[in-house]
Amino acid sequence: MQSADHPFNTFPSSSSPSSPKPLPIASPCAACKVLRRRCSKQCALAPYFPPSEPQKFITAHRVFGASNIVKLLQ
């Protein structure tokens, strides 16, 4: 059975030239990942907790709490 004949094949056989290219998705900061919220461009925590270092936010969150961290940074 070829993949094009498979009933659950969800991939198009060819891409149309008029398709818009997908926008790059920015990764949320570590704080927003841990808190499971949307990371905005104005996120106060993003400069201090990059997406590659979630353990830094987890540690600070355990000690101070998320709302106190935001208050300290403002």
**Would you say residue 9 lies in a domain?**
no
**Would you say residue 38 lies in a domain?**
no
pLDDT (tens digit per residue) in 13-32: 555 556 566 545 578 999 99
Instruction: Quote the domain boundaries for residue 68.
Output: 48-74
Kindly state the DSSP code that residue 16 receives in the 8-state scheme: -
Q: Is the pLDDT of residue 42 over 80?
A: yes
Number of domains in the chain: 1
**Would you say residue 65 lies in a domain?**
yes
Tell me the average pLDDT across 39-56: 94
> Residue 28 corresponds to which tokens in the numbers above?
């949320």
Tell me the average pLDDT across 60-69: 96
**Would you say residue 37 lies in a domain?**
no
Please give the pLDDT value at position 26: 74
**Would you say residue 54 lies in a domain?**
yes
**Would you say residue 63 lies in a domain?**
yes
**Would you say residue 62 lies in a domain?**
yes
Report the Cα–Cα distance between both ends of the chain, in Å, rounded: 61
Say which residue the tokens 């990059």 belong to.
50
Q: Which residues of 39-48 are buried (b: 16+ CB within 10 A; e: fewer)?
A: beeebebbeb
**Would you say residue 8 lies in a domain?**
no
